[in-house]
């Protein structure tokens, strides 16, 4: 009996707290509600921010588009990029004339990029992100977010190239060199400006060394070195070149 009374008492306290919050929000105007949600967001209380913004999102309020955008930002910060993407698509479609659409379009691409899993897995969201970045850059080429969009797109291209490289590397490890070279050439064609293109050059150099084609291996390794690779890749290329001396 004592346990039941205690549980009932705690439940009443929780319900009264929720009712108090709703009553408190009802006493605020739309701007004040938004500012309260914004404060929650800035304090890292993302779920509280989202719950507070529910009072504005699907209303005729002039703060509704702001509420959708901040909700999306809260979802991104709370590691829920797919929910953020849904929120942003709604904002872009329903408030097409809003001044916030530009930022929302950029964040949509970011949300898709963040939703993508590691390179070994399906990269549907990475491809969606690239399309969203391209759409943003087509619409807003002079935006202050353009450089960030280009950087985000490059990260996506690196990820797709990495996925192809992992396939090439796998074929190399199981002595299927011709299949490995197919993936290497695909990286060169589709992702020429990625770091993984240089790694694929290194992989082909190993293949050519195994085939005793030292001339081709040397060309590939020297190409890597003149491309300003990262330290790890540079060391591996130099080590292989030493084997040719």
pLDDT digit string (tens) for the chain, length 245 residues:
444 445 454 444 444 444 444 445 555 799 999 999 999 999 999 999 999 999 999 999 999 999 999 999 999 999 999 999 999 999 999 999 999 999 999 999 999 999 999 999 999 999 999 999 999 999 999 999 999 999 999 999 999 999 999 999 999 999 999 999 999 999 999 999 999 999 999 999 999 999 999 999 999 999 999 998 899 999 999 999 998 88
CA angle, 99 as apex, 95 and 104 as ends, to 5°?
70
Position 6 scores a pLDDT of 52
Position 4 scores a pLDDT of 43
Task: Tell me the pTM.
Answer: 0.86
Q: Are 141 and 131 in contact (CB under 8 A)?
A: no
* Measured distance CA(223)–CA(153) in Å, rounded: 25
Write out the H or E segment, with its range, that includes residue 120. none
Count of CB atoms situated within 10 Å of the CB of 19:
10
Q: Are 204 and 184 in contact (CB under 8 A)?
A: yes
Position 1 scores a pLDDT of 44
**Radius of gyration of the chain from its Cα atoms, rounded to whole angstroms:** 26
* Measured distance CA(110)–CA(129) in Å, rounded: 7
Nearest to 114 by CA among 134, 95, 91, 133: 133
């Amino acid at each position: 009996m004592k346990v039941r009374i205690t549980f009932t008492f705690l439940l009443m306290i929780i319900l009264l707290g929720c009712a108090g919050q709703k009553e408190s929000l009802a006493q605020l105007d739309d701007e004040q509600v938004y500012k309260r949600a914004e404060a929650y967001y800035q304090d890292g209380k993302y779920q509280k921010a989202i719950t507070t913004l529910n009072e504005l999102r699907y209303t005729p309020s002039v703060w509704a588009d702001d509420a959708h955008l901040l909700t999306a930002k809260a979802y991104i910060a709370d590691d829920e990029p797919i929910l953020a993407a849904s929120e942003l698509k709604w904002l872009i479609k329903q408030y097409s004339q809003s001044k916030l659409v530009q930022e929302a379009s950029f964040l949509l691409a970011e949300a898709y990029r963040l939703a993508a899993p590691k390179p070994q897995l399906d990269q549907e969201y990475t491809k969606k992100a690239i399309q969203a970045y391209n759409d943003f850059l087509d619409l807003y080429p002079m935006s202050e977010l353009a450089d960030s969009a280009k950087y985000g797109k490059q990260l996506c291209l690196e990820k797709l190239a990495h996925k192809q490289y992992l396939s090439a590397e796998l074929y190399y490890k199981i002595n299927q060199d011709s299949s490995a070279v197919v993936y290497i050439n695909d990286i060169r064609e589709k992702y020429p400006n990625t770091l993984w293109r240089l790694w694929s050059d290194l992989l082909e150099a190993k293949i050519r060394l195994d085939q005793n084609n030292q001339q081709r291996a040397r060309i590939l390794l020297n190409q890597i070195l003149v491309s300003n690779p990262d330290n790890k890749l540079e060391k591996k290329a130099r080590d292989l070149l030493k084997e040719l001396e």
